[in-house]
Structure 1
Amino acid sequence: FPRKSTAFDVLVLSQNYPESVCFSFRKSLPTKKCNLGINNAWGIHGLWPTELGTVNPQFCDKTQPFNATAISGLRDELLIKWLNVDGQKSEQKFWKHEWDKHGTCSTQLDELNTQEKYFQVTLDLTQQYSAAKILNQAKIYPGGEYSADDIYEKVSNLVGKKPVISCIKNK
């Protein structure tokens, strides 16, 4: 997006692998119910305005509360791509959390100044920067063993961006 004065430097598109998220949940609560979605495919965690080197802005505008009706036209796609891995909470609660915490901080950009735009742009960016496709192009396959440095270098070279990669060692 065109750069203009905002309270953040970059937007971070966060994607996750549901089985890994569930594994993390179950480390502290072994009976945790998880929603792994269709084929345990990569999912969206969120689009996060980020100020480099500091704590990210959060919960920026309480005058813009979450309104599920505003994204009703995206609901079917969101249910597939932006699911709540926490099987004890609804997707809508997760979307509300992401909007309240991160979306309200992105509204300084015209491209993200409504709930519908925030969720649609996040869906679009996920299509453009699909973790599954990028890893496949990098020849990084499920079940293989790769160093975090190798993954970082291959992904960075493919997308021309600096990824942040979180791994669960030996799992």
Structure 2
Amino acid sequence: MGKWGSSLLIKFSVILSLSVVALANNGNNFHLFYFVQQWLGSYCDQNGERCCYPPTGKPGPEFSIYGLWPYFNDGSFPYNCGSDNFDEALLKPMQDSLRKEWPSFTCPQIGRKFWVHEWNKHGTCSKSVLGEVAYFKAALALKNRVNILGALTSAGIRPNNQLYSLKSVKQAIARGTGFHPWVVCNRNSQGTSQIWQVAMCVDRTGTRLINCPFVPKGQGDCESRIKFPSY
């Protein structure tokens, strides 16, 4: 093969590779959503992290929305699937609910930029099913249905800085919600594993809870006993 032919083959290979990446990353064939909530006590207590409360002040002791993320059926996920402009005005009717249920605790406090980030990175990958308004409405509706703290409290598992078995935490959430959760832990400054995020699987419509068929790739495991830090 001549020099020109080799160059053409290389260019074709690069174009094909980019096309495959683009196809895999458009999100149209995602399998389900992970609806993720986080415990503020663990977010603010994790090693090397600072948290800032929203302008409205410290929220009440509750799990808050962390994200609604589409996933493929192999445990990987699409991201940044489009350049759709985030229109904050569309969310004005639900803004108070979003501030309460989906606040940001990063420093400096970024407020609505968290919603922009979540829509651009994750929401755009589900826009074949959920537009911007429907995406955020779906997350709020799921938050109203999935009461993680209530499920844990009913089982005697409370945010009191005590250690609980991971198995008992999962069982309590499954008993309270009817579906098995995916639990993610972080570590505090003493290196103790603590409950941070709880995710439930949701079907492609963003409305119906389902049992999770897989654990997302790249997620760390909790210890067999985990702390539930006070808030």
Which TM-score band (shorter chain)? 0.7 to 0.9
Q: Does 1:43 align with 2:64?
A: yes
Structure 1 residues 107 and 22: CA distance shift in structure 2, 3 A: same
What is the root-mean-square deviation in Å for CA atoms of aligned residues? 2.1
Structure 1 CA distance for aligned equivalents of residues 167 and 51 of structure 2: 32
- 1:36-78: CA deviations, max 9, x gaps? 732243211011111243321111122x221111101111111
Structure 2 CA distance for aligned equivalents of residues 88 and 65 of structure 1: 24
How many equivalent residue pairs?
A: 159
Match of 1:92 among 103, 112, 115: 112
Question: What is the aligned partner in structure 2 of residue 8 from structure 1?
Answer: 30
- Give the Å deviation of 1:146: 1.2
Question: What is the aligned partner in structure 2 of residue 132 from structure 1?
Answer: 149
TM-score if structure 2 supplies the norm length? Answer: 0.62
SS at match of 2:81: coil
Structure 1 CA distance for aligned equivalents of residues 151 and 32 of structure 2: 20
Structure 1 residues 12 and 157: CA distance shift in structure 2, 3 A: same
TM-score if structure 1 supplies the norm length? Answer: 0.82
Match of 1:145 among 163, 170, 179: 163
Counterpart amino acid of residue 141 in structure 2: D
The question of whether the paired residues in 2 share the 8 Å contact of 1:7 and 1:57 is answered with: no
- Give the Å deviation of 1:19: 2.0
5+ residue gaps, structure 1, are none
Structure 2 CA distance for aligned equivalents of residues 91 and 131 of structure 1: 24
Question: What is the aligned partner in structure 2 of residue 118 from structure 1?
Answer: 135
The question of whether the paired residues in 1 share the 8 Å contact of 2:53 and 2:59 is answered with: no
Structure with the higher fraction of residues in helix conformation: 1
Give the greater-gyration-radius structure (CA): 2
5+ residue gaps, structure 2, are 1-26, 188-192, 194-226
Structure with the higher fraction of residues in strand conformation: 2
- Give the Å deviation of 1:6: 4.6
With CA pairs under 8 Å and 6+ residues apart, which has the higher RCO, 1 or 2?
Answer: 2
The question of whether the paired residues in 1 share the 8 Å contact of 2:151 and 2:172 is answered with: no
Identity within the alignment, %: 26
